[in-house]
């Protein structure tokens, strides 16, 4: 097999199996090439991945070592894409009662969600994450976009118990925006105990919902190693109940009466 053919095959494998380690012997057997030739191929791919701003190849020596593709995307490109998203969110017609914004159409756009997933995957590239957790329903597209680049499962916390999902753990929490007591439910089979998890959500005011998720995850002995929100409100009076998180967009001065809103890049770009 020609080197050009091997490079295409290896690129296809790594891009479609992010963070999945493959040992050198498996590659040499599949492509019927020497270890030295495959090693040179991996050097070429690593250099091109870095040049294109799409990640790196992490190589671990030893009998139990191997090579894994770590997605890591150009921050400048992410800034450009999220800046375009900010412009769309500045449309006054998106303002909803209570200082919220209509974002369902954007959350349903695969291209936009792909860019959001890239940004979060880069922000959390050095984290050991076993699962991405969100609460139904608007955070689900974000969770799947990120999980695709991390190559981990998505765990969805429900608002109501579903009999088809078996025994569950539920907690009551105080919603940050309404100060009402609400319920979260997570089936026991959906999350193995002791995993490292990343929480994502579409919008955050005070952080009450995310705090509720964290409390529920404690029942599974899960460790929250990262928190990402697409958009956060930074208006006065929105006191945070969480501090360690990453946002892509910040909303300020949402004026329902004047139909005016200020949208900025989030903490990831600061």
Q: What are phi and psi of 83, to 5 degrees?
A: -65, -40
Rounded to the nearest 10 degrees, the angle between the axes of helix 35-52 and helix 24-31 is 100
Domains: count for the chain: 2
Per the DSSP assignment, residues forming a β-bridge with 60 are: 66
Single pTM value for the model: 0.92
Q: Both 57 and 99 in a single domain?
A: no
Q: Both 93 and 209 in a single domain?
A: yes
Of 16, 40, 71, which marks where a domain is finished? 71
pLDDT tens for residues 221-237?
999 999 999 999 887 66
Residue 22 CA to residue 55 CA, distance in Å, equals: 17
Residue 42 CA to residue 208 CA, distance in Å, equals: 46
CA angle 144, 145, 151 (to 5 degrees): 75
What domain range is 24 assigned to?
A: 3-71
Of 45, 71, 97, which marks where a domain is finished? 71
Q: Both 56 and 90 in a single domain?
A: no
pLDDT tens for residues 37-96?
999 999 999 999 999 999 999 999 876 789 999 999 999 999 999 999 999 999 999 988
Of 71, 98, 115, which marks where a domain is finished? 71
Tokens of 43: 């050097």
Q: Both 111 and 43 in a single domain?
A: no
Q: Both 85 and 157 in a single domain?
A: yes
């Amino acid at each position: 097999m020609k080197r050009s053919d091997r490079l295409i095959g290896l690129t296809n494998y790594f891009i479609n199996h992010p963070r999945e380690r493959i040992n050198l012997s498996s590659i040499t057997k599949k492509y019927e090439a020497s270890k030295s030739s495959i090693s040179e191929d991996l050097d070429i791919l690593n250099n091109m991945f870095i040049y294109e701003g799409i990640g790196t190849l992490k190589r671990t020596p030893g009998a139990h070592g191997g090579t894994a593709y770590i997605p890591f995307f150009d921050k400048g490109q992410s800034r450009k894409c999220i800046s375009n998203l900010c412009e769309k969110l500045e449309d006054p017609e998106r303002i909803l009662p209570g200082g919220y914004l209509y974002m369902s159409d954007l959350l349903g756009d695969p291209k936009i969600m792909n860019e959001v997933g890239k940004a979060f995957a880069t922000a959390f590239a050095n984290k050991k994450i076993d699962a991405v957790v969100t609460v139904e329903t608007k955070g689900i597209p974000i969770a799947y976009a990120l999980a695709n680049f991390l190559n981990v499962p998505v765990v969805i916390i429900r608002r109501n118990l579903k009999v088809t999902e078996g025994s569950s753990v539920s907690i009551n929490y105080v919603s940050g925006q309404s100060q009402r007591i609400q319920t979260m439910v997570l089936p026991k089979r959906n999350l193995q105990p002791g995993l490292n998890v990343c929480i994502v959500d579409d919008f955050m005011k005070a952080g009450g919902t995310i705090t509720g998720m964290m409390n529920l995850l404690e029942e599974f002995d899960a460790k929250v190693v990262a928190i990402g929100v697409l958009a956060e409100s930074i208006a006065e009076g929105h006191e945070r109940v969480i501090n360690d998180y990453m946002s892509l967009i910040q909303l300020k001065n949402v004026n329902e009466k004047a139909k005016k809103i200020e949208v900025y890049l989030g903490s990831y770009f600061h």
